[in-house]
Amino acid sequence: MRKTVQLILIAIAFCFTAAIGQTNHHYKLNDYSLDSNLRRIAVSALTIDGGMIVVTDNEYRGSLSPADYGFSMIRYDSTGIKLWNTFVSGFTTSNAVLMGIVELPDNGFAIAGNTTFNGGGFILKTDASGTFLWMKNYATQIYGCVLDPSDDGFVMTTNAGNTYSGIIKANSSGDVVWGDARNYTVDPDHYYVARPLNNGNYLAVGTAYDNPSISNGTGLIACYSSTGTLLWSQRYVGPEWTAGFNDFTELSDGSIVLVGTSSQVAVPGLRTLITKVDSVGNVIWCKSSLLASRMTDYGYKFADGFLYVAGNYDWSGVDLRPATTKIDTDGNVLWTRIHPQFDYINDIVYSTSKDFSIIGSKLSFNNTRTFCSTDTALTQSCALYDTAYVFNTINMTTTPTAPVTVTPVTSATSQVRINFSAVNFVKTDVCSTTGIESNFGNGGLSVSLYPNPANENLTIEIEASEFTQDMQLILINSLGATVKSFLLDAPTTRLDLKDLSSGIYFYSIKNQKNASKSGKFIVE
Q: What order of strands is seen across the sheet that includes strand 344-350?
A: 26-31, 7-15, 355-362, 344-350
Say what the pLDDT of residue 143 is.
Answer: 83
More confident call, 467 vs 110: 110
**C-alpha distance from residue 343 to each of 131, 313, 320, 349 (Å):** 31, 10, 7, 18
Say what the pLDDT of residue 52 is.
Answer: 80
Does residue 236 contact residue 275 with C-beta atoms inside 8 Å? Answer: yes
Say what the pLDDT of residue 281 is.
Answer: 86
Give the confidence band of 194 by pLDDT, cuts at 50, 70, 90: very high
DSSP secondary structure letters along 11-78: EEEEE--SSTT----EEEEEE-TT-TT--SEEEEEE-TTS-EEEEEPPEE-SSSSGGGEEEEEEEE-T
Which phi and psi (to 5°) does residue 384 adopt? -95, 130
Reported pTM: 0.63
| pLDDT per residue as tens digits for the range 21-44 | 333 333 444 444 445 555 566 787
What is the C-alpha separation between 331 and 334, in angstroms, rounded? 9
Q: What order of strands is seen across the sheet that includes strand 218-224?
A: 189-196, 202-208, 218-224, 230-236
Which phi and psi (to 5°) does residue 68 adopt? -100, 0
More confident call, 158 vs 374: 158
What is the C-alpha separation between 88 and 470, in angstroms, rounded? 62
What is the C-alpha separation between 252 and 273, in angstroms, rounded? 21
pLDDT surpassing 50 at residue 313 = yes
| pLDDT per residue as tens digits for the range 270-291 | 677 788 888 888 888 887 764 4
| pLDDT per residue as tens digits for the range 502-521 | 777 777 776 655 455 666 77
Burial 491-515 (b: 16+ CB within 10 A, else e): eebeeebeebeeebbbbbbbbeeeb
Supply angle C-alpha 177, 183, 189, rounded to 5. 100
Say what the pLDDT of residue 108 is.
Answer: 94
DSSP secondary structure letters along 505-517: EEEEEE-TT--EE
Does residue 392 contact residue 368 with C-beta atoms inside 8 Å? Answer: no
Q: Give the number of other CB atoms < 10 A from CB of residue 43.
A: 24
What is the C-alpha separation between 488 and 172, in angstroms, rounded? 57
pLDDT surpassing 50 at residue 17 = no
Say what the pLDDT of residue 491 is.
Answer: 74
Does residue 313 contact residue 295 with C-beta atoms inside 8 Å? Answer: yes
Q: Which fold has domain 404-523?
A: Immunoglobulin-like (2.60.40)
More confident call, 221 vs 186: 221
Torsion of CA 118, 122, 126, 130, to 10 degrees: 0
What is the C-alpha separation between 493 and 319, in angstroms, rounded? 39
Give the confidence band of 90 by pLDDT, cuts at 50, 70, 90: low
List CB contacts of 424: < 8 A, sequence separation 6 or more.
291, 292, 295, 401, 402
pLDDT surpassing 70 at residue 396 = no
Percent of the residues in the chain that have a pLDDT greater than 90, as a whole number: 10
More confident call, 208 vs 113: 113
pLDDT surpassing 70 at residue 181 = yes
Say what the pLDDT of residue 202 is.
Answer: 94
| pLDDT per residue as tens digits for the range 321-365 | 677 777 888 877 777 777 766 666 767 766 554 566 677 666 544
Q: Give the number of other CB atoms < 10 A from CB of residue 51.
A: 20
Percent of the residues in the chain that have a pLDDT greater than 70, as a whole number: 51
3-state secondary structure of 161: coil
Dihedral of alpha carbons 134, 137, 141, 145, sign: negative
If phi over 0 gives left and psi between -120 and 50 gives alpha, with beta otherwise, what is residue 143? alpha
First vs last C-alpha separation in the chain:
44
pLDDT surpassing 50 at residue 368 = no
Q: What stretches of 106-217 adopt beta strand conformation (E)?
A: 109-114, 121-126, 132-138, 141-148, 153-159, 165-170, 176-182, 189-196, 202-208
What is the C-alpha separation between 385 and 136, in angstroms, rounded? 45
Give the confidence band of 104 by pLDDT, cuts at 50, 70, 90: very high
If phi over 0 gives left and psi between -120 and 50 gives alpha, with beta otherwise, what is residue 448? beta
Mean pLDDT of 410-419: 29
Say what the pLDDT of residue 267 is.
Answer: 53
Q: Measured over all CA atoms, what is the biggest interatomic distance in the chain, rounded to whole angstroms?
A: 82
Mean pLDDT of 242-257: 85
More confident call, 242 vs 286: 286
| pLDDT per residue as tens digits for the range 469-503 | 667 777 877 676 778 877 777 777 777 787 787 77
DSSP secondary structure letters along 268-288: -S-EEEEEEE-TTS-EEEEEE
Does residue 289 contact residue 235 with C-beta atoms inside 8 Å? Answer: no
Give the confidence band of 56 by pLDDT, cuts at 50, 70, 90: confident
**Pairing label, strands 391-395, 59-60:** unpaired
Say what the pLDDT of residue 197 is.
Answer: 94
**C-alpha distance from residue 462 to each of 455, 473, 494, 520 (Å):** 22, 9, 7, 14
Q: How far is CA 53 from the centre of its chain?
A: 20
